[in-house]
Amino acid sequence: MGKTIGIDLGTTNSCAAVVENGQPVIIPNEKGNRTTPSIVAFTRSGEQLVGEAAQRQAAVNSDRTVSSIKRQMGTNWSKTIDGKRYTPQEISSMILRKLKKDAENYLGEPVNDAVITVPAYFNDVQRQATKDAGRIAGLNVKRIINEPTSAALAYGLNNGAAQKILVYDLGGGTFDVSIIEIGGDVIEVLATNGDNHLGGDDFDERIVTHLLGIIKKQSNVDVRKDISALQRLREAAEQCKKELSGLESARIYLPYLTMTKGEPVNFEYTLTRAEFNELTKDLVDRTEVPVRNALNDAGIAASELGKVILVGGSTRIPAVQAKVRALTGKTPERSINPDECVAQGAAMQGDLLSDGTLQLYNGGTGLLLLDVTPLSLSIETVGGVATRLVERNSTLPVHYSQVFTTAAPYQRSVDINVLQGERPMARDNKSIGRFRLNGIKGAPAGVPQIEVTFDIDVNGILKVSARDLDTGREQSITIDDNERMSDAQIEQAIRDAQQYAAQDGIRREAVEVNNEAGRLINEVQQKLQAQKKDISKEDRNFLRNDIASLQKAMSRNNPAKATQADLQEAKTALDNLKQSSTRILG
């Protein structure tokens, strides 16, 4: 069996790891970096760029560059480029495909299986979208696991003592806090909480807004109207934020940022850590309630925590670390790089699922990972009330059935609205699917018995089924969720990706063939000139003909749109010239 890799598909950066010789190791990408920017771009010549290559050109190609796609997972966001519409699943699949390829290069063997992590707070639709992205990328997603659980697994390996751990995970776009109990060979999530829309990007945005105000005051220009200037400002803001994690002040210098009245605007500013803390204080404070809620839900006091783990790049911010200390009374652990521990844990889970070589701290080879559902699940009942079927923090997998009945006499169908959230009224929760149960036997209100079953698998993915107990007949229910990709759409996306991969191969070869052809033509022309007197007119014409045919074939073999036939024709013309030049020129 091939190796199962662990993937942390992050908002800003992604990271892949694998277990080798019993230990998790980070897989470097083709540039030798340990994390890969989660950025995808489409060049005008039809190329797809992922990672550093996409990041480098983001400022000059911002309308064809997608970043932070994780924030859109499970929504109906889409982007149309050159007439093709891309879903968040497809964009994410491009990042996954690159991680898969880098892992294959590193391991020297095909990689088909993966464990992918998601924020604990991701709902069912977001988890399914992540799984679908894996499928489109050609990966068999063996398990979706929660990022904090994954981090705890990575830390648990270093320390086998039974204890309760708080994982504080502030990444690029999401915030997660989990209380996890590690003991023996069980890792059990006791509670999880968080904020789906809080992360490092928000800190960057605060700096950007601050700088925009200063530029407006200094030069009276609105940089928001200049997309590439805004992109440069964003990159500078993030860089400045990172520097402020280690320094008391950071300088931003952006020459020729934009133009106003025909004059260039140069921008220079020094931001202090104190200023930055002031701009972002409310963001740091927003992590407080989820931490308290998670502790409450787990039924423990902060003093009972064995350790606190920091995960995610944004936990490098000193004010964030100070907040964690203030909230928990503990100095957080950071012995594993916060950007890497999630991928490491995922690789360990992958290894356990594929009977690998992992050496566990308890000396055994088995480990039970008990994750929980992050939000309660309900259905809407009479009066718009959310009637709860599954409590949040229930250990996965969950199987729960409840019997419902009709509200009106001789009602032949019921509409069921499946809800996720903690609020008592249906309208205040997120509707994740609706279904209609038809064919109920006509009877007075309250007589029919309809058993509704919620099944949540180990990935946190929900399936709903229903049975009419009167007739004993299973009813089929379709969850009508327009944000979810259908199987047919996924198949189409897989075909598109494969077609792209094939086109990519042709493109690469077309470039190589044209380069070689150019070199050969040059060489032949030089030799023809040098050996003019020794070559017969007939041979000269022969060579000139072959050169002309090759030049024609090269122009058809345009890497942006070459077909297999164009490529073949160029290869044949190249071979012809090779042969004739060897025969005639030696």
Do 455 and 397 meet the contact criterion of CB atoms below 8 Å apart?
A: yes
Show the tokens assigned to 345. 């844990």
Quick check: 124 binds ligand AMP (CB under 6 A)?
A: no
Out of 90, 238, 340, 371, point to the residue binding ligand AMP (CB under 6 A): 238
CB 334 to ligand AMP: min, Å: 12
Give least dist CB 182 to ligand AMP, A. Answer: 22
Shortest spacing between CB 70 and ligand AMP, in angstroms: 8
Task: Give the DSSP letter of residue 247.
Answer: S
- Say whether 217 is catalytic: no
**126 scored as a contact of ligand AMP (CB under 6 A):** no
Per CB under 6 A, the segment of 10-18, 269-277, 445-453, 544-552 that binds ligand AMP is 10-18
List the one residue from 171, 194, 345, 433 that touches ligand AMP (CB under 6 A): 171
Q: Which residues between 240 and 259 bind ligand AMP (CB under 6 A)?
A: 241-242, 245
The residue of the chain with the least Cβ separation from ligand AMP equals 200
Q: Under the criterion CB under 6 A, does residue 356 sit at the interface with ligand AMP?
A: no
C-alpha angle with apex 162: 161 to 166, nearest 5 degrees? 105
Helix axes 273-285, 227-244, angle to 10 degrees: 90
* CB of 188 or CB of 238, closer to ligand AMP: 238
The 10 Å CB-count burial string (b at 16+, else e) for 108-147 is eeebbbbbbbbbbbbbbbbbbbbbbbbbbbbbebbbbbbb
Determine the interface stretch with ligand AMP among 132-140, 239-247, 443-451, 517-525 (rule: CB under 6 A).
239-247
What is the 3-state secondary structure of 189-235? Answer: EEEEEEECCCCHHHHHHHHHHHHHHHHHHHHCCCHHHCHHHHHHHHH
Give the pairing type, strands 4-8 and 113-118: parallel
**Of 9-17, 325-333, 433-441, 555-563, which part binds ligand AMP (CB under 6 A)?**
9-17
Q: Which of 6, 10, 148, 433 binds ligand AMP (CB under 6 A)?
A: 10
The 3-state secondary structure of 291-332 reads HHHHHHHHCCCHHHCCEEEEECHHHHCHHHHHHHHHHHCCCC
Exposed (0-12), middle (13-18) or buried (19+): which is 297, by Cβ within 10 Å? middle
Binding of residue 172 to ligand AMP (CB under 6 A): yes
Where does residue 16 rank: exposed (0-12), middle (13-18), buried (19+ CB within 10 A)? Answer: buried
- Which of 4, 6, 12, 103 lies at the binding interface for ligand AMP (CB under 6 A)? 12
Instruction: Single out the catalytic residue among 124, 132, 169, 340.
Output: 169
Q: Do strands 186-195 and 368-370 pair parallel, antiparallel, or not at all (unpaired)?
A: parallel
Q: Within positions 290 to 329, which residues make up the interface with ligand AMP, using CB under 6 A?
A: 312-314, 316-317
Residue placing its CB nearer to ligand AMP in the complex, 13 or 93: 13
Q: Is 13 in the site for ligand AMP (CB under 6 A)?
A: yes
Residues 209 and 382: their CA atoms lie apart, in Å, by 46
CA distance 437 to 127: 25
Q: Where are the beta strands (DSSP E) in 421-543?
A: 430-437, 450-456, 462-468, 473-475
Which stretch in 11-19, 91-99, 101-109, 216-224 sits in contact with ligand AMP by CB under 6 A? 11-19
Residue 389 Cβ, how far from ligand AMP at the closest point, in Å? 33
- For residue 118, state whether it binds ligand AMP (rule: CB under 6 A): no
Does the annotation count 527 as an active-site position? no
164 is catalytic: no
185 a catalytic residue? no
Catalytic residues: 8, 70, 147, 169
Positions in the binding site for ligand AMP (CB under 6 A) = 10-13, 171-172, 200-201, 238, 241-242, 245, 312-314, 316-317, 339
